[in-house]
Structure 1
Amino acid sequence: MIVIVDERETVKEGYSSLFGREGVPITGFGGSEFGEWVATAADADIKSVGAVLIGECDSQHVSPRAIRERTGAPVIALSEQHSLENTLRLFEAGVDDVVRKPVHIRELLARISAIRRRQSQDPGYTQIGPLRIFADGRDPEVDGAPLPLPRRERRILEFLAANYGRRVTKSQVFNAIYGIFDDEVEENVVESHISKLRKKLREKLGFDPIDSKRFLGYRLNV
């Protein structure tokens, strides 16, 4: 889930629509409500944050260093002031990157992925048997050949790969794909997405790579 902090409703709605087209859940906050949420949210909710985008808001309530105390997710400032002084001020405040608007959503996703790789020395993909699963929106590969997937199924596969070796519940998958604040979609939609995903993987691999157990959840098993 991507979090954007901005006082303008039109900006939050715009990013919600654009990230939604890429299959990435996003939620928006004003500055003061975000500061309160970061300080009081449950660890499980904080862990669902993939990145924080900071737009126009009161810096008194939005401190990159305070965010860092709760999560290692990338913190990116969206700057509308194209000046060296402003850029340096934002870096000094503790952000990981400063991006000048306007910026394409795919560029933001690429920057988020790059920051994560630098943080973890991650090559940018997870190799599990013949499966190569990327974390930057690219389709996975099976034995080097691309496997085109709809965005929700691709995101589910990325989440399962990120938790390889662990079982994840339906609620955890739902939160990762739709966000923790989406109450317009039923959680059971996860079962439909996974059913379609495992069928496509089975056709390519010759076996079912997703192990599921009632009440316990799902695990990628290659």
Structure 2
Amino acid sequence: MTDVLLAEDDEAIAGPLARALTREGYGCEIVTTGPDALERSKDTRFELLVLDLGLPEMDGLEVCRRVRAARPQLAVLMLTARTDEVDFVVGLDAGADDYVGKPFRLAELLARVRALLRRKQGVDLVLEAGDIHLDARGRRVLVGGKDATLANREFDLLRFLMERGGEVVSREEILTEVWGSADLRSSKTLDMHVSWLRRKIGDDQSGRKKRIVTVRGVGFRFDPD
């Protein structure tokens, strides 16, 4: 089980979020002050710190800086009610791996948690299907031994589909996991990215096995074999 430390002093946020994390299979402990967050984050059983920027006694930025010095590998997801881009940049500069602005949707935050833990834990660093080779750490894709130049979102989309190889994944799930929000489900964003990705991995070539299959009315499936 992956253990998460949730540093949030607003019970209206902490309670529902802790319950959602528990339902997802994570262990979750709540702390409500900056000093408590700093102290408990030293426990190496915690793999992720969900950190509110506005904690009492010591703000989240200072907590993050000190946590980074003590445990550089700990994943840190910052929560902030501030929406100014400068505040987000300051948070990332303090050592946060990602941030979510308040108010947030639970589905979006949980998707960010999963993505962040995948990156930190190095899950499925190398994925292969036929002549497609994806190196997650190097963010590199080879098709037939040649580099395929993928934009960041195309890479994330391919990785997600390959990780779920053989499974049908819904459009909403893809948008939540890769884009961080299902609000784009009525747009053509996903279809355009799938189309571009198919061209880059050779799915549009005659006589070549089609890897990304459209499941009408549901979503897509990546066929690894």
What TM-score results when the alignment is normalised by the length of structure 1?
A: 0.54
* Aligned partners of 1:125 and 1:132 also within 8 Å: yes
The 3-state SS of whatever aligns with 2:133 is strand
* Rg comparison, structure with higher value: 2
Residue in 2 aligned with 1:116?
A: 121
Structure 1 segments of 4+ aligned residues over 4 angstroms from their partners: 56-64, 98-106, 111-115
Does structure 1 residue 79 correspond to structure 2 residue 79?
Answer: no
**Structure 2: runs of 5 or more not aligned:** 1-5, 27-31, 52-62, 77-91, 99-115
Unaligned runs of 5+ in 1: 7-29, 50-55
CA shift at 1:148, angstroms? 0.9
CA distance in 2, matches of 1:97, 1:83: 7
Q: 1:9 maps to which residue?
A: none
Distance of 2:138 and 2:14 partners within structure 1: 29
Match of 1:156 in 2: 157
Match of 2:194 in 1: 194
Asked whether the equivalents of residues 168 and 220 of structure 2 are also in contact (C-alpha less than 8 Å), the reply is yes
The residue correspondences of 1:83-102 to structure 2 (distance < 5 A) are: 87=70, 97=74, 102=94
Contact 1:79 1:101 in 2 (8 A): no
Sequence identity, in percent? 19
Paired with 1:194 and 1:214, the residues of 2 have a C-alpha distance of 14
Assess if the C-alpha contact under 8 Å between 1:132 and 1:140 holds in 2.
Answer: yes
Specify whether residues 40 and 103 from structure 1 end up closer, same or farther in structure 2 by C-alpha distance, changes over 3 A only: closer
Cα separation, 2, equivalents of 1:173 and 1:154: 13
Query: Is the 8 Å Cα contact of residues 113 and 135 (structure 1) preserved in structure 2?
Result: no
Decide whether aligned partners of structure 1 residues 98 and 206 sit closer, same or farther in structure 2, where only a CA change above 3 A counts. Answer: closer
Larger strand percent? 2
* CA distances 1:117-153 after superposition (whole Å, capped 9, x unpaired): 3xx6x5x111111111233461311133221111111
Change (3 A) 1:31 1:154: farther
Comparing both chains, which one has the higher relative contact order based on Cα–Cα distances under 8 Å and sequence gaps of 6 or more?
1
- How big is the shift at 1:165? 1.7
The answer on whether the counterparts of 1:113 and 1:136 sit within 8 Å (CA) in structure 2 is no
Structure 1: how far apart are the matches of 2:180 and 2:16?
15
Question: Which residue does the alignment assign to 1:211?
Answer: 213
Question: By how many angstroms is 1:83 displaced?
Answer: 9.6
**Whole-Å separation in 2 of the counterparts to 1:167 and 1:130:** 22
In structure 2, C-alpha distance between the alignment counterparts of 1:177 and 1:186, rounded to whole Å: 12
Give the letter for the 2:223 counterpart: N
Aligned to 1:35: 14
TM-score (norm 2): 0.53
Per-residue CA distance 1:17-52 (angstroms, 9 max, x = gap): xxxxxxxxxxxxx653652243233888x58x9xxx
Note the aligned Cα RMSD (angstroms): 4.6
1:158 is displaced (CA, Å) by 0.6
Kindly state the Cα deviation for residue 155 of structure 1 after the two structures are TM-superposed: 0.9
Contact kept in structure 1, 2:64 and 2:96, CA below 8 Å: no
What's the secondary structure of 2:66's corresponding residue?
coil
Report SS of the residue matched to 1:212.
Answer: strand
Instruction: Write the mapping of 1:40-189 to structure 2, written as runs, cut at 5 A.
Output: 40-41=19-20, 46=24, 58=34, 74-75=47-48, 79-81=64-66, 87=70, 97=74, 102-103=94-95, 115-117=120-122, 122=124, 124-136=125-137, 138-180=139-181, 183=183, 185-188=184-187, 189=189
